[in-house]
Amino acid sequence: MATEVLMPRQGQSVESCILVEWLVQEGERVSAGQPLASIETDKAVFEVESPADGVMLGHFFSAGEDIPVLTVIGAIGEEGEDVSGMRPDGGSESESDAVAEEAPAADIATEPAASEPEREPVASAPASSQTTTGSGVSPRARKMAAEAGLTVSGIAGTGPGGRVIARDVASAAESQPRMTPVARAAAGNGSVPAVGTGPGGMVVAGDIGTQEPVAASVQSFADREVPVKGIRKVIAAKMRESLSQTAQITLNKSFDATALLAYRASVKAQAEAMGLPNITINDLIAFATIRTLMRHPNLNAHFLGDKIVEFGHVHLGIATDTERGLMVPVVQGAEQMSLRQLSESIKPLAKACQSGSINPDLLQGGTFTITNLGVLGIESFTPVLNVPEVAILGVSGLFAKPVIEKGGNVKHVQAINLSLTVDHQAVDGAPAARFLKDLCTALEQISLTLAG
């Protein structure tokens, strides 16, 4: 009996996932635990594993579809099993179903009305030497070709009557380099490299091995449309919500980082000698922020419209840059941790975000957020609130700050600028300024802060 492949629930906060791609094709034999598909929540990318040994009998959804969790997305069983009854409402056609439905009526009528013919494996399907016309292309294949930048007129069809179907386009896409339309039109004038100089290795017109000069217009970059989906869609919605529902003001203040850098250097030397992970500047700033928040609970709070909730614990969000967009993993109960414990909690969360394996539940429940752009050399910026939090701290890079000494002499010290954005609905300017002043003092006297 066939086994259902379910869209898994990735954390209690996730209601649906996007099917990024199928990793195995229909008809392929798989083993239990083998990755079948990659899926994307609004926070991270995961793989769906096979629940059993058998043959991939059906894909019930196509790549790009947003599917509710615990929905049947495919079936594993033995070859020849009928899994049509497992297909949920709203599921898309499998390739085998599409081939049957795309066959011309005349061809279907000539088939004998006996038992169902034995289905040939995809790999052994004979390739037709007939090239296609517009009428010999299935809608699904035409869409796939357009997305892959392929011209269907040059693809040999293996469907009924030589019709081009999806598997033909997939095969052609694997064997041909990705090319811009202008490059494809010029391909007859010279050799085509396997990898071009365009975005993602796409072959552009200038890569074609022709002796003729390439027009300036051909050398220009092609426009690119990027769908707003997944984590980018969530970020866009949250930023719009943050700016439309809050009254944000930002205060800036720098602190003398001399003591902080000296302490960090000593701890780094000790860590290297003992084989321990390094303590970063961000770890020290996070620790001092947590200690300061315990004295300013009005900054460690949520604004909920008709009430403000001030929290007794600091659940610290650490904004993390990833290839897929900004993520904010949360260190729960950070006020109970030592500096070393805090550092060892932050690092694996950041790595999980960057690898796309973060549990979505670990991206929830923050009470205050730190975002650090210092490594990029930013001197000052305006962080946007992570609603419903009432405050967020931006950390910039080191810079030389002139300081007037007694006697009127001017010296330069290494300083770091902090930018505190607060929701003026919940926090007034003076309390926010006092928090920022106390935080800068705690960082300038980092040894006392750690001792306390």
**Farthest-apart Cα atoms in the chain, separation:** 105
Q: How far apart are CA 441 and CA 283, in angstroms?
A: 17
Q: Report how far apart, in Å, the C-alpha atoms of 289 and of each of 182, 323, 442 are.
A: 55, 27, 8
Q: 53, 361, 424, 438: which is the annotated catalytic residue? A: 424
DSSP alpha helices (H): ranges in 294-399? 339-355
* Whole-number Å distance between alpha carbons of 443 and 263: 11
- Listed in sequence order, the residues at least 6 apart from 439 whose beta carbon sits closer than 8 Å to its beta carbon are 255, 288, 289, 292, 393, 418
User: What is the enclosing helix (H) or strand (E) of 148?
Assistant: helix 139-148
Q: Are 83 and 5 in contact (CB under 8 A)?
A: no
Which residues does residue 76 pair with via DSSP β-bridges, in sequence order? Answer: 3, 56
Q: Decide: residue 205, CB within 10 A, 0-12 exposed, 13-18 middle, 19+ buried.
A: buried
Q: At a CB cut-off of 8 Å and minimum separation 6, what does 67 contact? A: 7, 16, 17, 18, 19, 61, 73
Is residue 424 part of the annotated active site? The answer reads: yes
- The alpha carbon of 247 is separated from its chain's Cα centroid by a whole number of angstroms, namely 29
Contact 81, 2 (CB under 8 A): yes
Q: Cα separation of 338 and 273, whole Å?
A: 20
| CA 218 – CA 210 distance, rounded (Å) | 13
Bridge partners for 38 per DSSP: 21, 47
- Please choose, from the candidates 145, 126, 149, 125, the residue with its C-alpha nearest in 3D space to the C-alpha of residue 134: 145
CA pair distance 57, 79, nearest whole angstrom: 7
Q: Which of the following is catalytic: 82, 107, 412, 428?
A: 428
Place of tokens 């290494």: 414
Residues that are catalytic: 424, 428
